[in-house]
Amino acid sequence: MAAPATQRSVVFVDGIRTPFGKAGPKGMYAETRADDLVVKAIRELLRRNPQLDPARIDEVAIAATTQTGDQGLTIGRTSGILAGLPETVPGFAIDRMCAGAMTAVTTTASGIGFGQYDVVIAGGVEHMGHHPMGEGADPNPRFLADRLVDPSALVMGNTAENLHDRFPSITKERTDAYAVNSQNKYEAARKAGYIADTLVPVATRSAAGWGLATEDEPPRPGTTIEDLATLKTPFRPAGRITAGNAAGLNDGATAAILAGEDTAIELGLPIGMRMVGFAYQGVDPAVMGYGPVPATEKLLARTGLKIEDIGLFELNEAFAVQVIAFLEHYGIADDDPRVNPWGGAIACGHPLASSGVRLMTQLSRQFAQRPDVRYGLTSMCIGLGMGGTVIWENPNFDGAK
């Protein structure tokens, strides 16, 4: 009888992403394939970590919400082949809507922790210009006929309006102020060179010829609260959700290397952060943005940590109201400097299944700058009523508080 496997320490080695683009015919990736964005990210990871023999990679897990066309056909396997990995390296596709890349990480991390993988690549892609969310989907009519979900649950903007209804203290003025702060923090981080370190340039093609994407396309530096006050509320007359206090429709890809800590040491790979634990939790789909709260509660209970132990938060900004609901639950100020110090998706964009690894990549870089912080958290709401949270430990922690 085989001896039971012992749990290993799982580490985030390195992460990268393409610049995020605006979805649509005028976006910078309008004529770029989704799988080519993933390939670019994988190749850059290998270029930055030449000590990793590609043959040592045990799995490639790539997420996409709309798995069709150029982001279909088991994209984890096809992107690995296109990136030049040995044919012996397997791969698969995964879908948990906005938390696709997060789930690619936690699923493969489980394999590492159980001793069945040593090194993996995990990430996600979404080309919303080619494949809008829900394209080709056929929701079962029983969802509505049997009243399993509120009709608003199938439109994410409506669920955000519902969250405003549930928490009347979260006003449009608060969400607009949060959105402006996100834009300002992102611009400060960009000017400091922090964002560029997380990006791989991508060659693009359009009617005007070839180009090079080196920066995110969605940010709107200089946005003011007065600007946001004039925007339309497309999901409800006199509503509160606008294009200014929510993430846009975007294209982009992310990828990360994860490894057992023993393997990372053996191969001389950097250790960006250690995984402490993760949790997912379902909520009423009509208020899907509240998902990070119970997911985080579940994880804190599992790990024995308290919210006060978390020194850095990377929260996906699908909607400002969703982030503020999380902060309000924990008594954290809307402008707390621990939260999204480099701005968030309201500024840089949210290509659905790719975003989880963006959060992790940024947290890893922030850990390197902050040896005074021991624990950080990445969390996001998930369509159809879920939340996901991962807690990480800073290997650079020096014991100071």
Residues 157 and 358: their CA atoms lie apart, in Å, by 22
In our burial notation (b when 16+ CB lie closer than 10 A, e otherwise), range 213-244 reads beebbbbbeebeeeebeeeebebbeebbbbbb
Ramachandran quadrant class, 379 (left: phi over 0; alpha: psi -120 to 50; beta: rest): beta
Q: Report the C-alpha gap between 46 and 85 in whole angstroms.
A: 10
Amino acid at 364: S
- Give whole-number Cα distances, 173 to 20, 73, 156, 321, in Å: 27, 44, 20, 11
Contact 103, 94 (CB under 8 A): yes
Please list the residues that pair with 21 across neighbouring strands. 251
Residue type, 262: D
Tokens of 243: 């294009």
Q: Are 176 and 229 in contact (CB under 8 A)?
A: yes
CA separation for the pair 122, 213 (Å, rounded): 23
Which residues, in sequence order, are bridge partners of residue 390?
278, 378
Annotated active-site residue 329? The verdict is no
The DSSP annotation for 146-172 comes to: TTSS-GGGGSHHHHHHHHHHH-TTS-H
The helix/strand/coil state of 371 is coil
Closest CA to 250 of 344, 138, 365, 132: 132
Would you call 127 a catalytic residue per the annotation? no
Main-chain dihedrals φ then ψ at residue 383, nearest 5 degrees? -55, 150
Residue of 130, 131, 164, 381 marked catalytic: 381
Taking each helix axis from N to C end, the angle separating 100-113 and 355-369, rounded to the nearest 10 degrees, works out to 70
Mapped onto helix, strand or coil, the DSSP state of residue 33 is coil
Catalytic residue, candidates 98, 127, 164, 348: 98
- Angstrom distance (rounded) from CA 288 to CA 125: 21
348 is catalytic: no
Task: Single out the catalytic residue among 127, 130, 164, 350.
Answer: 350
d(CA 198, CA 194): 7
Residues known to be catalytic? 98, 350, 381
